[in-house]
Amino acid sequence: MPRAKTCSFCGEEIEPGTGMMYVRKDGTVFTFCSSKCERNMIHLKRKPRKVKWTQTYRKEKMLRVK
């Protein structure tokens, strides 16, 4: 049975059979739950800890985590 993975950007769980996988030339693998997360990390080069809607930001700022 496939396992649920977590999004490399926002930290949410990805159900098996959904999401996207991005592999860099150096072999680093990123999994994304949506194109929004992929765009923010790969194309816009944003850090998850600086984007307010990510779980990493909430944990760092000690805000309520869903």
Cα dist from 45 to 27, 37, 41, whole Å: 18, 11, 5
Position 9 in a domain: yes
pLDDT, one tens digit per residue, over 5-60 is 999 999 999 999 999 999 999 999 999 999 999 999 999 999 999 999 999 898 88
Using alpha carbons, select from 64, 19, 43, 18 the residue that is nearest to residue 8: 19
Q: Is 30 within a domain?
A: yes
Mean pLDDT of all residues belonging to the chain: 91
pLDDT, residue 63, reads 62
pTM for the full predicted model: 0.83
Rounded Cα gap, residues 34 and 58, in angstroms: 19
Residue 65 located in a structural domain: no
Q: Which domain covers residue 23, as residue numbers? A: 5-58
Q: How many domains does the chain have?
A: 1
CATH number of 53's domain:
2.30.170.20
How confident is the model at residue 2, as a pLDDT? 80
Residue 17 belongs to a domain: yes
Specify if 63 maps to a domain. Answer: no
